[in-house]
Amino acid sequence: MATLPRDDIELYYTDHGGDGRPVVLVHGWPLSGESWEDTVPALRDAGYRVVTYDRRGFGRSGWSDAGGYDYDLLTGDLAALLDELDLSDVTLVGFSMGGGEVARYVGRHGESRLRSVAFIGAIPPWLLKSDDNPDGGLDMETARGMQTSFRADREAFLDGFLTTFFSVDGELVVTEEQRQRALELAAQANGDAAAACIVLWTSRFTDDVARLSVPTLIVHGDSDAIVPFEVSGKRLHEQVAGSELVVVEGGPHGLLASHTDLVNRTLLEFLAR
């Protein structure tokens, strides 16, 4: 465990597995790097070097908007971490919002450090529903309303959001203990950072995705009530030539907890190629 200084904040990360081929895991909202706690051991024990980190403003990382909190800033943190650790032949794995950093990293920083990428329940290519993107899943008015609700009553908002996160057809498909664990991780987030991210979910990644040429894995639940498969996973697969798509039957958004073994096995099979 260590910290990485970056423009007056500390970016918290963990580094497991020594000299193995590196896999960098990027977490979703409103969690932290600890949300990968059931995945890290499986990858580490298979011989990979596994790096997790807390997005700025989340978990144990510091908070600064550095004049503007957007995906370019967040992806700059990811790039700084890869540079600091001098990682190469990397597989980037992004869950949910973390898929945005993976896509934008390719768009802004290229693939010279990368071996492959994986998206799990991820928001690319473009979640926003608008006149330009009528098949999107989240319109800006709804996103702004969610942001307002979060700021008005954070505890109630997160309680409802993380229930939907782990539910299929309104029924929780993980244990209450797992849901409470997610609420604990969410409670660590800076309120301003967490609120700002809600609007960032509507960011456009189509240009970033178009630059992907490394092997790409897409894993998505067919019952995802947060990031619908038809809006994101299906379209991402269609836009990335040669990508591998794994659709999890009965899978909610929170696949890392609900389908841990399947996700870990799928990642290991992909990494072994």
Known catalytic residues are: 96, 224, 253
Which residues, at least 6 apart from 145, have a Cβ–Cβ distance to it below 8 Å? none
First-last CA distance in the chain? 29
Q: Where are the beta strands (DSSP E) in the chain?
A: 2-6, 9-16, 22-26, 49-53, 90-95, 114-120, 128-129, 138-139, 167-168, 171-172, 216-221, 244-248
- For 138-155, b/e burial (b = at least 16 CB within 10 A) is beeeebeebbebbeeebe
Residues 174, 168: contact at Cβ < 8 Å? Answer: no
Position of tokens 């600890």? 34
Position of tokens 């702004």? 144
Q: How many alpha carbons fall within 13 Å on the CB side of residue 218?
A: 26
Residues 200, 101: contact at Cβ < 8 Å? Answer: no
Residue 192: φ, ψ to 5° = -65, -40
Residues 31, 6: contact at Cβ < 8 Å? Answer: no
